[in-house]
């Protein structure tokens, strides 16, 4: 058995390993998509349950906590006067944990996004500052996670572990609890 630290972008692996039913659904989806060989971009985008888990991971463990903007004009927001030229940090993260928008927001629930891309979730920024690599990031992450799930049986070293993030200067998992590769799946080529 070998262990590895899960990068923040791959946190779906933590939650998929913890939730056996979800992991089995994703693994069946991955196995079907990979039946004729490695998946292409269309197959990766078609893995609805895996994509939903990835979106839920981005909601629970945001990569971008906010974007800075310069005020173009004076305005008042929530009783505070903002002057033209002041730096304003706009963060979508509070909405990710607002119980009125997201029921039970501190629970990982991939089924929240089963119907496709989530409206209002902005893990890669908002217009006009959207990360140009958002689509590529999704494909790379889905490819890595699907490959790991296809070829390895994972186990959490610390099953009660819940990832926490810290700014240093970008969000990351400071304690790096590893997943354990319990075995390889011999039936998978």
pLDDT at 28 over 90: yes
- C-alpha distances in Å from residue 154, one per residue of 21, 121, 139, 184: 14, 29, 21, 9
pTM of the model: 0.75
Each residue's pLDDT tens digit, 87-133? 988 887 888 888 888 888 888 899 988 887 666 677 777 667 777 77
- C-alpha 74/C-alpha 21 separation (Å) is 52
Q: What is the mean pLDDT of the chain?
A: 78
What average pLDDT does the segment 153-180 reach?
A: 59
- Largest Cα separation within the chain, whole Å, is 64
- C-alpha 120/C-alpha 92 separation (Å) is 8
pLDDT at 3 over 50: no
Q: How confident is the model at residue 49 (pLDDT cuts 50, 70, 90)?
A: very high
Residue with the bigger pLDDT between 118 and 145: it is 145
- Reference 10, options 182, 123, 142, 153; nearest CA is 142
pLDDT at 189 over 50: yes
For residue 123, give the DSSP letter: T
What average pLDDT does the segment 153-163 reach?
A: 71
Q: How confident is the model at residue 181 (pLDDT cuts 50, 70, 90)?
A: low
Return the pLDDT at 170. 45
pLDDT at 17 over 60: yes
Return the pLDDT at 81. 96
């Amino acid at each position: 058995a070998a262990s590895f630290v899960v990068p923040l972008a791959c946190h779906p692996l933590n939650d998929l390993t913890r939730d056996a039913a979800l992991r089995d659904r994703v693994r069946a989806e991955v196995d079907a998509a990979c039946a004729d060989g490695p998946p292409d971009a269309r197959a990766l985008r078609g893995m609805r349950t895996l994509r939903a888990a990835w979106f839920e991971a981005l909601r629970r463990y945001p990569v971008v906590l906010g974007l800075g903007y310069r005020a173009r004009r004076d305005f008042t927001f929530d009783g505070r006067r903002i002057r033209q030229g002041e730096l304003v940090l706009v963060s979508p993260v509070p909405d990710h944990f607002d119980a009125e928008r997201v029921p039970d927001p501190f629970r990982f629930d991939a089924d929240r996004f089963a119907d496709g891309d989530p409206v209002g979730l902005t893990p890669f920024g908002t217009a006009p500052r959207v990360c140009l690599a958002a689509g590529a990031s999704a494909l790379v992450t889905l490819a890595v996670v699907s490959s790991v799930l296809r070829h390895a049986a994972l186990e959490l070293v610390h099953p009660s572990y819940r990832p926490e993030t810290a700014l240093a200067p970008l969000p990351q998992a400071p304690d790096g609890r590893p997943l354990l590769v319990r075995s390889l799946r011999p039936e998978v080529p």
